[in-house]
Amino acid sequence: MKIANTIILVLLTLLGISAGVAKLMQMPQEVEFLNNAGLNNTAIILFGVLQVVGGILLIFTKTRKIGALITAIAFAISTVIIFMAGNLAFGFISILPILLAAFVYHRTN
């Protein structure tokens, strides 16, 4: 079980950081999608910072619980935006990282 927990933690950390970096680098697909959802470039950058911070906090044992909470919130915001855009299939898939973050949160002492 320890190996599975480690794999989940590593995947969630990489997913959170990479999602945030895509926003910070102003990747055209991210910017277009989030602009269409009503976010301006400043909000996109702040959202990216939130995701990167959450991912980094997941790395360290002392900050893992808050990192999991931040990551879950960031992915929940993303999922809501995806559903609002009408992409139901990807929206349901996007629930998985939220569940993984909740799992890490509850497994952290």
pLDDT digits (tens, 9 = 90+) for 8-65: 999 999 999 999 999 999 999 999 999 999 999 999 999 999 999 999 999 999 999 9
| pLDDT value, residue 23 | 97
* CA–CA dist 44, 64 (Å, integer): 24
Q: What's the angle, vertex CA 33, arms to CA 28 and CA 36, rounded to 5?
A: 120
Provide φ and ψ at 60, rounded to 5°.
-95, 135
Q: Name every residue whose Cβ is closer than 8 Å to that of residue 74 and which is 6 or more positions away in sequence.
A: 16, 19, 20, 47, 50, 51, 54
Q: Name every residue whose Cβ is closer than 8 Å to that of residue 35 and which is 6 or more positions away in sequence.
A: 41, 44
Full domain range(s) for residue 17: 2-107
Q: Quick check: 90 pLDDT over 90?
A: yes
Q: How many structural domains does the chain have? A: 1
Q: Grade residue 96 by pLDDT with cuts at 50, 70 and 90.
A: very high
